Chains A and B, each alone.
Chain A
Amino acid sequence: GNSVTQMEGPVTLSEEAFLTINCTYTATGYPSLFWYVQYPGEGLQLLLKATKADDKGSNKGFEATYRKETTSFHLEKGSVQVSDSAVYFCALTATGANSKLTFGKGITLSVRP
């Protein structure tokens, strides 16, 4: 079946540090890949997405590249801010699966001033 594996957390960084959150997937066909973010006290919202191999999604300084050869979609940001503190979920939708999202377990990021 389809699955998403995220690196274990939580992650604590100092402001302006470089961020990488690993995500790998297993899916049939050609999935679309997503990063969702949940800020404290807020609902889940889309951060970025990529729909085919080698696509790069980007938003708010975050980037992730769809790597079919390594089945990965790692999230990166060059300089994190305190306001980036949140829970980050990697997810996919698979071909023929009614567009339902399969999520990773999520990782909590805390950024210190």
Chain B
Amino acid sequence: GAGVSQSPSNKVTEKGKDVELRCDPISGHTALYWYRQSLGQGLEFLIYFQGNSAPDKSGLPSDRFSAERTGGSVSTLTIQRTQQEDSAVYLCASSSSGRAESDTQYFGPGTRLTVL
């Protein structure tokens, strides 16, 4: 079946602009995660959605970052007033429930963001 998809695959923007990154999780998966992969920081958790519960935003690095998940499916990560340090690959993952620590998370191909 279809895996996790993300768009765009690449995004180049100018410092100070806003960007939106999209994630389509695997159908039926109730848990959705955003991570960031950068050279300096490795792979970092950003935010977690589980069903209709309030999201866990504990990994968002600043208030310029926000995310929403509409209808329990598609998610959008928004970065306002982008900075050069935001340049990274943004990864989305989904899992069937997110309630068990043993659940497998399935990752999308990522969006490579470059801030000039």
Contacts and interface: CB of A to CB of B under 8 A. Distances in A.
Contacts of A77: none
B101 A43 contact: no
A95 B100 CA distance: 9
Interface stretch (B10-18, B62-70, B79-87, B102-110): B102-110
Given A43-B110, A44-B91, A99 B103 contact: yes
B61 interface: no
Interface residues of A, number: 25
Main secondary structure of the interface of B (DSSP, over half): strand
Main secondary structure of the interface of A (DSSP, over half): loop
B63 to A, nearest CB: 20
A51 B104 contact: no
B97 to A, nearest CB: 8
Interface in B70-116: 91, 93, 95, 98-110
B104 A103 contact: no
Contacts of B106: 45-46
A68 B82 CA distance: 42
B91 A99 contact: no
A112 interface: no
A61 B42 CA distance: 26
Contacts of A49: 102, 104
Interface of A: 31-32, 36, 42-46, 49, 51, 89, 91, 93-95, 97-106
Interface of B: 31, 33, 35, 42-45, 48, 50, 56, 59, 91, 93, 95, 98-110
